[in-house]
Structure 1
């Protein structure tokens, strides 16, 4: 009879444990990298314009009022506002300026109005060549 030796049962036992040492080493290296690079990252600062008060109100002011329902009205020198369609606002403002491009145009809007509606009015006026377009703000806090 030949001598055959069997070591163990022939099957290897599966290993149910996970070696955590390489995982911890990688995490510590990443932690050190992030700790070193975090102070080097600059945060984006936005320099917002400040609002000041005018010394005196101009004599002739054209005010475009955007209502909460996005309707557009035009007010001349503090008189009663007249409803104007958005497509005609540029021609009406140019007529009210009477050829004087330095006549200021102020856009007033309710705070519930979408930003997009105010930008549409401002864009319409600027495309028509109106140079001095501003936004009306509430003074105080």
Structure 2
């Protein structure tokens, strides 16, 4: 009687589980990248709006906190030097008219906000985007 021994098969990598893992990693990576909003502002309590779109292609960030302190890209600046420093930073950028994100705490006065806006415009920057938090839809 002749006994047949099983053939020795080469080990192989199963592709279906590998594809599932790669797809899962791709989905997680895409989701995390889309959920991150890149800004250089300080943490402030922003006003809410139902039509908020996150800005991602910005160069300069101006933040006004609840104590009326002004920051440019997390560096503190006083009102008198705001225009001069913005002009300097705008010259360093590759774009001729860089975008400015303005993060203003919702507790600051309307008048103070307009003073800062005027200083930004006096620096020759006209692409200003006021930032807000998305409004709860409850």
TM-score normalised to the size of structure 1? 0.53
User: Which residue, 54, 63, 78 being the options, matches 1:65?
Assistant: 63
Could you tell me how far 1:140 is from its partner in structure 2?
A: 2.9
When the two structures are superposed, what TM-score results if normalisation uses the length of structure 2? 0.54
Larger RCO, structures 1/2 (Cα 8 Å, 6+ apart):
2
Q: Does 1:96 align with 2:86?
A: no
Alignment-derived partner of residue 115 in structure 2:
120
1:108 corresponds to which residue? Answer: 103
RMSD between aligned alpha carbons?
2.2
Task: Assess if the C-alpha contact under 8 Å between 2:86 and 2:123 holds in 1.
Answer: no
User: Partners of 1:53 and 1:92 in 2: how far apart?
Assistant: 28
Question: How far, CA to CA, are the matches of 1:51 and 1:136 in structure 2?
Answer: 11
SS in 2 for 1:103: coil
Structure 1 portions without partners, runs of 5+: 1-49, 76-80
SS at match of 1:125: helix
Q: Gaps spanning 5+ residues in structure 2: where? A: 1-49
Q: Is the 8 A contact 2:100 2:129 kept in 1?
A: yes
Output aligned runs, 1:12-51, within 5 Å.
51=51
Point out the structure with max Rg over C-alpha: 1
Q: Distance in 2 between matches of 1:130 and 1:137?
A: 20
